[in-house]
Chains A and B, each alone.
Chain A
Amino acid sequence: MDARETLRMAGRSIRSHKLRSALTVIGVVIGIASVVTFASVGASVEADIVSEVGSSSASNVYVLPTPAGEGDDGPGFGGVSQPVFTEHDVKQLEKTKGVRQVLPRGNVRVSALTHANDTVSRNQITATTPASFPQDAIVAGRAFRSGAREAVVSRSARQAFESNLSVGDTLSIETEDGNATTVDVVGVVNRTAGQLPFASFAGQPRFYVPTDPFYERTLESPAVGASQRAYPQLTVVADPARVSTVKGSVQNYLAGSDAAELKPESVELTAQTSGDFVEEIQDIVGQVTRFVTAIAVIALVVAAIGIANIMLVSVAERTREIGIMKAVGARNRDVMGLFLAEATVLGAVGAVVGLPLGIAVSYGATVYAEVAFTPAYGWFVIAVAVGILVGVVAGLYPAWRAARVDPIDALRYE
Chain B
Amino acid sequence: MSSTAGTSSADDSVVRLADVRKTYDLGGTVEALAGVSLALAAGSYTAVMGPSGSGKSTLLNLVGALDTPTEGRVTVADHDVGTDSEAERAGIRGTEIGFVFQTFNLMPRLDATENVALPLLFDDWSRERRRERARELLSLVGLGDRRDHRPNELSGGQRQRVAIARALAPDPAVVLADEPTGNIDTETGAEIMGLLDDVNARGNTVLLVTHERAIAEHADRIVHIRDGTIESIESLDGAGRDA
Contact surface of A with B, Cβ cutoff 8 Å: 1-2, 5, 12-13, 16, 320-321, 323-334, 407-408, 411, 414
Chain B residues in 8 Å Cβ range of A331: 86-87, 90-91, 122
Q: Can you spell out 14 A-B residue pairs with CB atoms less than 8 angstroms apart?
A: A1-B121, A1-B124, A2-B124, A5-B127, A13-B109, A321-B107, A325-B107, A327-B99, A328-B93, A328-B94, A328-B119, A331-B122, A408-B66, A411-B105
Chain B residues in 8 Å Cβ range of A411: 101, 105
Number of A-B contacts (CB under 8 A): 65
CA distance A320 to B103 in the complex (A): 11
Contact surface of B with A, Cβ cutoff 8 Å: 61, 64, 66-67, 86-87, 90-91, 93-95, 99, 101, 103, 105-109, 118-119, 121-124, 127, 166, 170
Q: Is there contact, CB below 8 Å, between A330 and B101?
A: no
Q: Label chain A's interface by main secondary structure.
A: helix
Chain B residues in 8 Å Cβ range of A323: 105
Residue of B nearest to A320 (CB): B105
Q: Is there contact, CB below 8 Å, between A327 and B105?
A: yes
Chain B residues in 8 Å Cβ range of A321: 107-108
Least Cβ–Cβ distance between A217 and chain B, in angstroms: 86
Q: Is there contact, CB below 8 Å, between A330 and B66?
A: no
Known: A12-B109, A320-B105, A332-B86. A327 touches B122 (CB 8 A): no
CA distance A333 to B103 in the complex (A): 26
CA distance A334 to B119 in the complex (A): 12
Q: Is there contact, CB below 8 Å, between A329 and B91?
A: yes
Chain B residues in 8 Å Cβ range of A5: 121, 127
Residue of A nearest to B123 (CB): A329
Least Cβ–Cβ distance between B92 and chain A, in angstroms: 8
Q: Is there contact, CB below 8 Å, between A330 and B109?
A: no
Q: Is there contact, CB below 8 Å, between A332 and B109?
A: no
Q: Is there contact, CB below 8 Å, between B87 and A330?
A: no
Partner among B90, B95, B106, B127 whose Cβ is within 8 Å of the Cβ of A326: B90
Chain A residues in 8 Å Cβ range of B108: 321
CA distance A328 to B90 in the complex (A): 8
Q: Is there contact, CB below 8 Å, between A329 and B94?
A: yes
Known: A12-B109, A327-B105, A411-B101. A332 touches B122 (CB 8 A): no
Chain A residues in 8 Å Cβ range of B90: 326, 329-332, 334
List 5 tightest A-B contacts by C-beta distance, closest first.
Answer: A329-B94, A328-B119, A329-B122, A331-B90, A331-B87
CA distance A328 to B166 in the complex (A): 9
Q: Is there contact, CB below 8 Å, between B87 and A328?
A: no
Least Cβ–Cβ distance between A332 and chain B, in angstroms: 6
Chain B residues in 8 Å Cβ range of A1: 121-122, 124
Chain B residues in 8 Å Cβ range of A334: 90, 122
Residue of B nearest to A329 (CB): B94
